[in-house]
Amino acid sequence: MIIQILLLSGLVIFSILAILLKDLLKAALSLAVASLFLGIIFFRLDAPYAGVFEISVVAGLITVLFALTVALTRKDSEVKEARLTRLAFPLFFVIFLIIDGLVMKSLLQQVPALPAGPETGSFGEVLWKSRTFDLVAQLGVILAGVLAVLALFRKKEEDKDE
């Protein structure tokens, strides 16, 4: 139970950081960490495939895409947010917490549990035995992301030297 609460707290905290942080790269990394927490929660809820896909897609691939997008945008294209926009998220978050507390518990009890799919197993079994090829592809995505950042930032460094 304590681990469950810690994982959920980590998920919520890093999700909030992903929205509130001004530095886009840090926000993307926060989202990746939040996704990692969600992936672990999926595993603990006996949904190993959902966990593997969550970590593969959101923690891995989407983070690379965000980093690439940040690399493609210029520093001078920052947009200042209106004050009202900055208040919108905390307000929405409070409203969500209230609705969650009042409605979700009774609502979840009415949703029938889905039968377990044929492809189940522990984290290790799923990752190393069933989805090994995904790891190769993940390495490819990360390598592509690293090489892309090296390629796209190279001229900026040269400009600095000039």
Residues that bind another protein (CB under 8 A): 49, 53, 56-57, 61, 64-65, 68-69, 72-73, 117-119, 128-134, 136-141, 143-145, 147-148, 150-152, 154-155
What is the maximum span of the chain, computed from C-alpha positions, in angstroms? 65
Cβ distance to another protein smaller for residue 13 or 61: 61
Cβ distance to another protein smaller for residue 78 or 100: 78
CB of 19 to another protein, least distance (A): 19
Specify burial of residue 62 (Cβ count, 10 A radius: 0-12, 13-18, 19+): middle
Q: Which of 113, 92, 95 is nearest to 103 (CA)?
A: 95
CB of 92 to another protein, least distance (A): 23
Cβ distance to another protein smaller for residue 2 or 133: 133
**Cβ–Cβ < 8 Å for 49, 127:** no
As a whole number of Å, the end-to-end CA separation of the chain is: 57
CB of 97 to another protein, least distance (A): 28
Count of C-beta atoms within a 10 Å radius of residue 37: 21
Cβ distance to another protein smaller for residue 81 or 119: 119
